Amino acid sequence: MALRDELARQGQWLFRHRSWLPLVPLALVLALLPWAPDPRVSPPHFWWDALCVGLSLTGVLVRALTIGTKPRGTSGRNRRAQVASRLNTTGMYSIVRHPLYVGNALMWAGVALYPRMWTAAVLAAAFFWIYYERIMYAEEEFLRRQHGDEWKEWAAATPAFFPDFSRWVRPDLPFALRAVLAAEYPGFLGLAASFMVIRTASDLIFLHRVEPHPFWLALFGGAVIGYGVLRTLRKRTRLLKVAGR
């Protein structure tokens, strides 16, 4: 099989399973956690927790700005195959070709950095680089077939992963918070749960007990409640429906 076809095949497989594959670097971080700085000797500082959470929330914001202005039938949380009834070239897609994956990378960067282990952070970054590189390749092959010269012109001028803010073009559609809430609650719960799991595992490894941490409990509890409420609204009502999204 030609390398181009093999990369596309791998990317398609990763795309279909991208809901659970981020658990791999999380498992890696947990496996290396016994070698993290001992909180009894080197307690974590508030500013470090704030930096990691802020980095992850920046990723949430990037995803929200992307999802909130995209039209129906384009990028999102579809699992089985790529969808692109039209080509997004405005809003977040005017400054970078894969804004959702930029958001994901920022979200998981905060999680990987949180235990203060550079080895785990570098290994997690390497995993995501290989992982997203192949998914992005498969998606771009699909878009090339779907949109031809229109895609080639846009791709030639728009960076793949590192945004060029000077290219910003106002999105065609106004921002819709309801569209974001309808799509992003599972990801936010996964993010909060990842921080909570690492914090709890660290307590068990080093303190041999689970310490109450009001901030992490509030973050995780709020994410669980938000998940339950938003899932119910999405499944049983039309409150989160937005025409054309």
pLDDT(85) > 80: no
pLDDT tens digit sequence for 10-65: 778 877 877 778 888 899 999 999 999 988 888 878 899 999 999 999 999 999 99
pLDDT in the model for residue 101: 93
Q: Give the domain ranges of the chain.
A: 1-15+43-174, 176-245
Q: Which two tokens stand for residue 145?
A: 């077939």
DSSP-derived 3-state class of residue 91:
strand
Report the C-alpha gap between 46 and 139 in whole angstroms.
39
Question: pTM here?
Answer: 0.90
pLDDT in the model for residue 39: 85
pLDDT tens digit sequence for 61-83: 999 999 999 887 676 555 555 55
Tally Cβ neighbours within 10 Å of residue 85: 9
pLDDT in the model for residue 153: 94
pLDDT tens digit sequence for 155-190: 999 999 999 999 999 998 999 999 999 999 999 999
Strand partners, 47: none
pLDDT tens digit sequence for 187-218: 999 999 999 999 999 999 999 999 888 999 99
pLDDT in the model for residue 167: 95
Q: What is the 3-state secondary structure (H, E, C) of 23-77?
A: HHHHHHHHHHHHHCCCCCCCCCCHHHHHHHHHHHHHHHHHHHHHHCCCCCCCCCC
